[in-house]
Amino acid sequence: MLELPILGLLQEEPLHGYELKKRLDETLGLWGVSFGSLYPALARLEREGAIEAIDPVDGDRRPLFPTTGSLAGEAAAARRRRVVVSRRRRKAYRITSVGTARFEQLLEEDPPPTADDDRAFAVKLAFCRYLPREARLAILERRRTQLADRLDRAQRVLRAQRDRRRPEDPYARSLVEHGTRTAAHDLEWVDELIAAEREAAAPESASAGTPSPGGNTL
Amino acid sequence: MLELPILGLLQEEPLHGYELKKRLDETLGLWGVSFGSLYPALARLEREGAIEAIDPVDGDRRPLFPTTGSLAGEAAAARRRRVVVSRRRRKAYRITSVGTARFEQLLEEDPPPTADDDRAFAVKLAFCRYLPREARLAILERRRTQLADRLDRAQRVLRAQRDRRRPEDPYARSLVEHGTRTAAHDLEWVDELIAAEREAAAPESASAGTPSPGGNTL
DNA sequence: GTCATCATGTAAGCCGTTACATGATTGC
DNA sequence: GCAATCATGTAACGGCTTACATGATGAC
């Protein structure tokens, strides 16, 4: 579950673990990633050859500005201290071609439905800009199917609840009703995304044109 | 994660594993539970004394009607076969007082935020009818806080996205926007639940009355 | 010199998944 | 008799969590 967002973030630029965690926490913002899962994941990816550690070269030395304190003073102080070697413990990772392949595979594969389909889709959407339009559409279509199924099931459960003569629990009832609304809402959203994607694929206003066969990466 | 819904379903009546799975799959309908997690969970609960196996007594023998075939013919066939002992391998579980205590503890405890807060809340709501009103309100209030936080964070991320001069990825953008709407929507829903709960607690139309101190179980 | 933060890792444990093994019951 | 369904389990594996260990850097 972590591999995809890690590879996704490394797509832009090499990063080290600590920074990676911060970005995962905020950008993907919904769930806290722990170091205890991040570092093993990085080790795994490195073992597989999907990423490689680059040694902290010159330019890496002070990428973060101190949050307080005068810059000039800081620079002077740095000059006074043993100047050059610093931050050597940081291990930045760069994605390899193997990693890019793996990244695309993870984005495009259709895993068996699981408890966190929603999160999985969110992560995919967050990085699907790196895919060609067709692959992106495939992801969206699959999500559409998924949501349509969910809506269907929710509506059936709703009907079943109504038909039961049972005293009927208002909480379970409200839960299913809200679930139904949410599924419908999500479905609309995905439909909009799909429509936008199709629109972008065929910008000519022709109504019956063949769909553009293009597969450009945005 | 499975313990709560298992204990919740057993609150109503004793059930055996297979039947439990079916109900978990459909009633809690969103995610497929596997036997490989269900049976170990049952074993765990039994070890802890939260549930106990009851031997398949008389009444248990044919609780399910055959889906096809004539009932009379079926009964006759049963009489022809060695009549009495049947279905003996079924192991139904009954909840104990320990189990009920555990159930309430699971419902009321406030676990550290995790990836499946949403699911956890859904499960709680599905069974909160067994709680006194106050405890139910506590659950709802906690969920409210959670959602308010989420909305807040989503809105901050949204603002951050707007402020960035970056070319801005439309997919990540849409993801956060939709997340914001969903959080707001969920928040409204919980607010309605809270209002309904308060209403039910103080049915007198007095505007400044002291809140009813009652703790009745529905 | 000390505290907060940055930074990387390991270990134990939990719980879920898939796949496998087993066997009874019932319809046809 | 054979297949489908009912029914209960075990084993291997994976991955995430918490807690722990370690140490550098920089602000004051």
Confidence label for A163 from pLDDT (cuts 50, 70 and 90) = confident
Pick the more confident residue, A132 or B26.
A132
Pick the more confident residue, A27 or A121.
A121
* Shortest CA distance from A174: residue in chain B: B193
| The pLDDT of residue B102 is above 90 | yes
Please tell me the least confidently modeled range out of A33-42, A172-181, B10-19, B74-83: B74-83
For range A167-191, the mean pLDDT: 94
Find all residues with CB under 8 Å of A193, minimum gap 6, and list them: A140, B171, B174
| Contact of A188 with A197, CB cutoff 8 Å | no
Q: Is B92 helix (H, G, I), strand (E, B) or coil?
A: strand
pLDDT score of B157:
85
Task: Please give the interface size between A and B, counted as residue pairs whose CB atoms are below 8 Å apart.
Answer: 76
Which residues 85-144 in chain A have a CB closer than 7 A to strand C? 87, 89-92, 112, 114-115
Written as six digits, the tokens of A188 are: 């609309």
DSSP string, A113-164: P-TTHHHHHHHHHHHGGGS-HHHHHHHHHHHHHHHHHHHHHHHHHHHHHHH-
Confidence label for B167 from pLDDT (cuts 50, 70 and 90) = confident
| Contact of A15 with A29, CB cutoff 8 Å | no
For range A95-99, the mean pLDDT: 96
Distance (Å, whole) CA A125 – CA A186: 14
Confidence label for B203 from pLDDT (cuts 50, 70 and 90) = confident
Mean pLDDT score across all residues of chain B = 81
pLDDT score of B84:
39
| Contact of A215 with A130, CB cutoff 8 Å | no
Could you say which nucleotides of strand D lie within 7 A of any protein CB atom?
6-12, 15-20, 23-28
Pick the more confident residue, A68 or B195.
B195
Written as six digits, the tokens of A100 are: 């890019």
Confidence label for A206 from pLDDT (cuts 50, 70 and 90) = low
| The pLDDT of residue A157 is above 80 | yes
When CB atoms are compared, the residue of B119, B128, B157 closest to A115 is: B119
Angle at A190 between CA A185 and CA A196, to 5 degrees: 130
| The pLDDT of residue B202 is above 50 | yes
Angle at B6 between CA A178 and CA A37, to 5 degrees: 80
| The pLDDT of residue B128 is above 70 | yes
pLDDT score of A205:
62
Pick the more confident residue, B164 or A179.
A179
Mean pLDDT score across all residues of chain A = 82
Placement of tokens 């680059």 in the chain? A54
Chain A hits for B170, CB-CB cut-off 8 Å, are 129, 196
For range A53-80, the mean pLDDT: 47
For range B54-81, the mean pLDDT: 45
pLDDT score of B89:
75
Written as six digits, the tokens of B54 are: 């009851």
For range A175-196, the mean pLDDT: 97
Taking the Cβ of residue B185 and every Cβ of chain A, the question of whether any pair is shorter than 8 Å is answered with yes
CA distances from B78 to A127, B58, B60 (A): 61, 15, 15
Written as six digits, the tokens of B177 are: 């926007």
Q: Is B179 helix (H, G, I), strand (E, B) or coil?
A: helix
For range B24-31, the mean pLDDT: 76
| The pLDDT of residue A207 is above 80 | no
**Listed residue (A186, A217, A189, A188) closest to A201, CA to CA:** A217
Domain B3-59+72-107: assigned CATH number: 1.10.10.10
Written as six digits, the tokens of A122 are: 């969110």
pLDDT score of A101:
96
DSSP string, A179-193: HHHHHHHHHHHHHHH
Distance (Å, whole) CA B41 – CA B51: 11
For the CA of B82 and the C1' of C14, the distance in angstroms is 45
CB burial of A22-45 (b: ≥16 within 10 Å; e: otherwise) equals ebbeebbbbbebeeeebeebbeeb
For range B109-138, the mean pLDDT: 92
| Contact of A145 with B156, CB cutoff 8 Å | no
For range B86-100, the mean pLDDT: 85
CB burial of A142-156 (b: ≥16 within 10 Å; e: otherwise) equals ebbebbeebbebbee
Distance (Å, whole) CA B121 – CA A175: 10
Each residue of A3-55: pLDDT tens digit? 999 999 999 999 999 999 999 988 776 678 999 999 999 999 999 999 999 97
Nucleotide nearest to A3 (CA to C1'): D15
Q: What is the pTM of this model?
A: 0.82
Distance (Å, whole) CA B78 – CA B70: 12
Chain B hits for A137, CB-CB cut-off 8 Å, are none
**Listed residue (A186, A109, A119, A143) closest to B186, CA to CA:** A186
Confidence label for B185 from pLDDT (cuts 50, 70 and 90) = very high
| The pLDDT of residue A57 is above 60 | no
Is any atom of strand C within 7 angstroms of residue B32's beta carbon? yes
Q: Spell out the domain ranges in chain B.
A: 3-59+72-107, 132-204
| The pLDDT of residue B30 is above 50 | yes
Task: Calculate what percentage of chain B has a pLDDT beyond 70.
Answer: 76
Residue A15's DSSP bridge partners are A93
Confidence label for A59 from pLDDT (cuts 50, 70 and 90) = very low
Distance (Å, whole) CA B4 – CA B115: 17
| The pLDDT of residue B132 is above 90 | yes
